[in-house]
Structure 1
């Protein structure tokens, strides 16, 4: 499992439970199928709680399990107070909540309240007539007309899944806004009655059942301002990227204050998805402890490295991507330096591809080393740590050999269809599009969890809703639990170390060291006289050791390599503690 220095145990200073906790994210459809219908479910999650506990995590995050038509895999909610039937029932959720608590773990849910499904009863009422009491629970606007008298949308915003962010409703002769798919109409947070219903149906219904908090989807999109056109950055397109326009509107602070008033009654945790927010001061205003709005947010600086804001599929990582990666890690880490803010550490979730494939190497000879190196990095970063299912095993992207039909996600399908239309099905363009999808599509994170070498990787005895990765015979939890040199074993070790050195690794000050380069990443962590030096090799070649001289006497705490030499081995990571390491 690598070279390990002395492990000691200590009791860190008292901190909020959601600061010191490590979160394990579960995507229900792909985690574990308990009834052999090919789809993961809530009882399947419950059946694997002992495995989750064995990792050393403290908090379970379950992605949307609410009733939904599944246009966007549950992020299109048709009823907040019911469970998607293939996943189970409200009673199954209560069992999961109780079983987590019995194992001293907390549980948080996704809170998807920027939009609903168009099948939600609220929207059905809203679109029934202009005079319906719920008409203003969604965002409706009359058409505009161009110089030729053609009807056009109210503004030039492009939806996140391509195309206009507005859909024409023939029945009431107006457009409704949807920042995502047309089946996901945006709620109108300007309506106080709508907000009250959101707090009651989507939040308190579950908080009363014992849920410990929420990952809040699109948390900075609720106040959209005056709906003016976005700046024209792509003159050849009718719609424009408008994320910087519709995020962080004038009433966001007010709405978050209201939400926190609900959450605080239950000591509930909040982590908001906060895209399109380059202004660090704005981020701090959301997560400042004094402001009492959100506990923390997900900034996407790290996972967006190598992707384009116009479309994540339209760019590939450059040769110097590691420079951007180092800068992104530094920005998110230094959010807490000298402030009362809090931050998060993650490199994977359900919306991005696998980190080993993106930031390491998924070649068989390097996959394990890269997985351990990334685990070492994440475990030494300050803030609340988030691990996505399968990340602890070193799961990787789908093979390039898979045909495009294996990709199920709306985002990837929309992009591929757009390329097909724009190029009249040009084979070269479609091949390039498929390469981009294989590298960064959300589907890569949604292949079924690999439990063992049996049929369908032990995920289900039925044909899974999505194809199991071809490598499950050699990469699965059962094998890795028996192998002390596995990625899984190393993650368990690092989560133990993170608790042992909680002040230093979870709360410590982060400082990048040395001149940024395209091969290695070196930084220090410090806390009240304690200090650690972290050295990471992001290449498949050995790299020279640097920066040790400035730290005086140091002691190797852990290395990802089995044999520690005078150079950093390919994809090796090391932690050195300075002489002032705590006596534990």
Structure 2
């Protein structure tokens, strides 16, 4: 039996506050808006909220460019609003996990402003500065060939300091120098400041990038992210994370969740488990299955066997997983892995079943519980996502693509804006998100796909999520049970079992747009149906199952 903890039993709901609910009509979601919608979360049955950054920020990267870690950005509200949110959540027995950004700050942060103006001062070594060199024309040349995840060089020349600073993300997000003990102390002090206010843990943004290789050598130009072998899982990363564990999380039941780009299974085992510095890690292998020949800025082919193989490898190889299909950086799962038109309900609920019945802690992203879909972006001017804009402009400038129209299908499929369109509450103007003009347009299908409409439908994606979350909450085998995959090479069926003691749950999913039939040796005649996503389903399993498109069934049986 695995050790019991609250975060293993929890279903986490991720809120991107800028797009969740706007209380004052300025078109920008806020904390009072979140508070107004908490009854929705309570009815859904979630146990924990992961709140994306609400810190003071110029919002060039939607809050992941922090200018003050101990202040609330005015557009989100006040610290009093934040205190009230925490109180309201805890009154509903819902925990709160904050999003912490330890790898970089905003270039507007006081630390960076003083670092650039006072190289020999207290903050001079808070960031990664290098002098670089000059070319034949006397122009500055970056210190190495590392690339930003958002495209282009990872270095920016600062005229004031007359030196280059490293930014693995946007130019406005300079990387902190974690080799400096003062930086580590400042960040752990900040995290403890929030824990002392009563939160229940942190999701740590790109936390495996904190350690950079000594000497910052050039990277392999053939890598998708040039230089990543020198800053992903770097030489001192376990030392830094060990300090965070000891100085922040030790002696508490707060959860430590690490987002880790380019994470492989071997490293994940080192980061988590009884001796690891983190409780949970996010990996991204399964959400890279649809990458094409040009990586994430291309769309490739995948099939169910690919998805099963990837999920199975992590289920089998890691004691406890973070389970997700969507977040603020990923497109909508029903558009990506399902059928968002003819079988939107069926495929959205099939994905929900995978999410909530595999072994691990499930993360539901706002709008996923009603089957929100990707949008469409007619021009690059319609895209807000700095990552998409910079990469598309670079692809056009390099001649990789001719113009926006030639890559628009990739943008529609991939851009982070798909996850950031406003939450669709009802069929009134702007989907009930705001009385003003939203900061980003609402998906045009909001009159058909919204919370109010989902409450009226029978069945609905929302009602299925509620039922499934309730079933997980009442069924220990779906939380702590062993996992076993069946029929791994089947092109249509995703079948697995969760077993705890003498209780077994058999999960059967026809993850395709075609009817399927199956004789399942694992399904006993006395198995009883616990949940399905079609109304007309016999309670007892026949000898041969006949499954309709994306049909999902959960059976319980004794062993």
Compute the TM-score of the two structures, normalised by the length of structure 1: 0.90
| Residue 516 (str. 1) matches residue 479 (str. 2) | no
Alignment size in residue pairs: 551
CA shift digits 1:247-294 (9 cap, x unpaired) = 11121111111111212344211111012122x232111112233x11
What's the CA shift for 1:359? 0.6
What's the CA shift for 1:224? 1.3
- Change in 2 beyond 3 A, CA 1:60/1:309: farther
SS in 1 for 2:234: coil
CA distance in 2: counterparts of 1:518 and 1:352, whole angstroms:
25
Partner of 2:236: 251
CA distance in 1: counterparts of 2:435 and 2:234, whole angstroms:
48
Partner of 2:470: 496
411-420 vs 70-79, greater mean Cα deviation? 411-420
| Residue 541 (str. 1) matches residue 514 (str. 2) | yes
| Residue 40 (str. 1) matches residue 39 (str. 2) | no
| Residue 412 (str. 1) matches residue 393 (str. 2) | no
SS in 1 for 2:161: coil
**Structure 2 counterparts to residues 104-503 of structure 1, below 5 A:** 104-144=93-133, 151-201=140-190, 203-226=191-214, 227-233=216-222, 241-261=226-246, 262-278=248-264, 280-291=265-276, 293-307=277-291, 311-313=295-297, 315-318=298-301, 320-336=302-318, 341-363=319-341, 365-399=342-376, 402-423=378-399, 426-427=402-403, 430-502=404-476
| Contact 1:139-1:187 within 8 A present in 2 as well | yes
What's the CA shift for 1:232? 2.6
CA distance in 2: counterparts of 1:225 and 1:423, whole angstroms:
32
162-171 vs 354-363, greater mean Cα deviation? 162-171
| Contact 1:514-1:547 within 8 A present in 2 as well | no
What's the CA shift for 1:186? 0.2
CA shift digits 1:399-458 (9 cap, x unpaired) = 46x44433211011112212332339834xx22311101112111011100111111111
CA shift digits 1:178-220 (9 cap, x unpaired) = 100111000011111111111113x122111111111110111
| Contact 2:502-2:558 within 8 A present in 1 as well | no
457-466 vs 241-250, greater mean Cα deviation? 241-250
CA shift digits 1:278-314 (9 cap, x unpaired) = 2x232111112233x111111112222212596412x
| Contact 1:306-1:321 within 8 A present in 2 as well | no
Partner of 1:9: none
CA distance in 1: counterparts of 2:300 and 2:552, whole angstroms:
22
Calculate the aligned-residue CA RMSD, in Å: 2.1
SS in 1 for 2:398: helix
Partner of 1:30: 19
SS in 2 for 1:423: coil
| Contact 1:189-1:222 within 8 A present in 2 as well | yes
What's the CA shift for 1:142? 1.9
CA shift digits 1:128-157 (9 cap, x unpaired) = 132122111101112045688764211111
CA distance in 1: counterparts of 2:371 and 2:19, whole angstroms:
16
What's the CA shift for 1:176? 0.7
Question: Tell me, which stretches of 5 or more residues in structure 1 are unaligned?
Answer: 1-11
What's the CA shift for 1:553? 4.5
Compute the TM-score of the two structures, normalised by the length of structure 2: 0.94
- Change in 2 beyond 3 A, CA 1:421/1:14: closer
Partner of 1:50: 39
CA distance in 2: counterparts of 1:25 and 1:535, whole angstroms:
27
Partner of 1:578: 557
What's the CA shift for 1:534? 1.6
| Contact 2:152-2:394 within 8 A present in 1 as well | no
What's the CA shift for 1:171? 2.2
What's the CA shift for 1:478? 1.1
Partner of 2:9: 20
SS in 2 for 1:577: strand
